[in-house]
Each structure stands twice: as C-alpha cells, then as structure tokens.
Amino acid sequence: MKNLLGNIFWSQTLGARLVLLAYVLGFPLALAGHYTHTFDLYGWLGLVPALVWKGQVWRVVSYAFLPGGWIDWVVSTFWLVTLISVLGRNWTSRGFWGYCLLGTIAGALPVVLLKPGMESGVAGNAGMIFALLAAWDWFYHHERLILLGIGEISVRQAAILIAVINSLILFFCDGWFLMLAMWCGGVAGWLWLTARAKLFMGKTAQQIRSERVARLEL
C-alpha cells in the first residue's frame, strides 16, 4: 500500500502533488496550532464572507485546504487521492492548479455574494471535489469500472453516485445553501472544460477524448 501511494504521488505533476499535500497537511497543522495555542489556521484561512468584504480575499481559496472535521478530512482525502490519480496528468502543473482554484472560488462566491454579513467560517474542499468529478466525467464518461458491492458501472454513473453522496453529507451537516454553493464548483468546472474545447481549441469534447486515448496507446 505504501509503495502504491508513493507511486501515485510521484507520478503526478508538481501542481497535483502540491494540491494534495496542501490539503493533507492542512488539518494536522491546524490541530497542532490549536492544541499548542500558538496559531489558529481556521481563524486565518476559513471562508468568512464578512472578512472577505473587508479585504481578506485569500479566504475564497484558502478555505478549501482545511476540512470541516476529522470525517471530512478522511473522506475528502480519499476522494482527492482517487481523482488526482486519474486526472492529475491531464493538465500541466499550472493547469491543474488553475482548474482546482476555479472550482474552489466558484464554490465560495455564492456564499460571499449572498451572505456578505456572515461572520461564521466555512471550511472544506467540496467545491474542488465537485469540479474534479465534473472533469472525471468529461474526460472518461464512456469508460467503465467495477465498484465493490455494486458491480460494473460507467464513470458517469460513478461520478453521479459520488456527487450524490457528497451532496447528502453537505445537506445534513451544513444545510441546503452550502450544498448548492459547492455545486457551483462542479458547474464552473464543466462549463470551463466545454468552453475550452469548443471555443478556444476549436475541438469537440469527443475529439479531445480521442486524442487522449491515442496518446495512451502510443
């Protein structure tokens, strides 16, 4: 298992490795600061709309690298490792960072814009995860995989299933508003991929998928 995780990590681009490290190490570092009473990462980095409007704009990004708690950290780390292992090499380092930031910011904007006076903090990378799920579906939706306890399903079905599970967790833990806000990360990711393919590259999504398959065959 150790060798498998090591191979997955070192086979990725620098950008993908940095995203994973930033999230995986963020929670232990926050706990260390809390229990030693030396610093408060959640106080500095959590998404607090009232403080964003006062100029602390880094919070629309930094909140995604701190989980909502132990369970969120474990579950989100699992999905992040899984999705990065599949998607990390579809982009350059800068491209992967940019895409993850797109999903993160898109998830934060509804909270900042619609609840500008909110003083409580929001943490978690659900917006990023939804964006990566959208990319997984966009690149691989015709491929099939086997899930334990379910059997063989398409990548699109798996992505929808994971999105539904994450949505239910968000709904029961944080409410419908935050759930809908984080969906914006997935919507923004899908729209960006579609626009990039059709407008900027002059290619359809299917053409890009075919080229990716051809590169893998080579």
63-to-70, 125, 133, 198 alpha-carbon distances in Å = 15, 7, 19, 32
204-to-57, 135, 200, 208 alpha-carbon distances in Å = 35, 15, 11, 7
pLDDT beyond 70 at 213: no
Average pLDDT over residues 143-167: 86
pLDDT computed for residue 9 by the predictor: 64
Under CATH, domain 2-217 is a member of which superfamily?
Answer: Rhomboid-like (1.20.1540.10)
pLDDT computed for residue 199 by the predictor: 73
* Structure confidence at residue 42 as a pLDDT band (50, 70, 90): very high
Q: What is the pTM of this model?
A: 0.85
Nearest to 20 by CA among 90, 70, 93: 93
* Structure confidence at residue 216 as a pLDDT band (50, 70, 90): very low
pLDDT beyond 70 at 196: yes
Identify whether the C-beta of residue 63 lies closer than 8 Å to the C-beta of residue 46: yes
Average pLDDT over residues 187-211: 73
pLDDT beyond 60 at 5: no
* Structure confidence at residue 186 as a pLDDT band (50, 70, 90): very high
Cα–Cα dist 101/192, whole Å = 12
pLDDT beyond 60 at 149: yes
- pLDDT tens figures, 76-87: 999 999 899 888
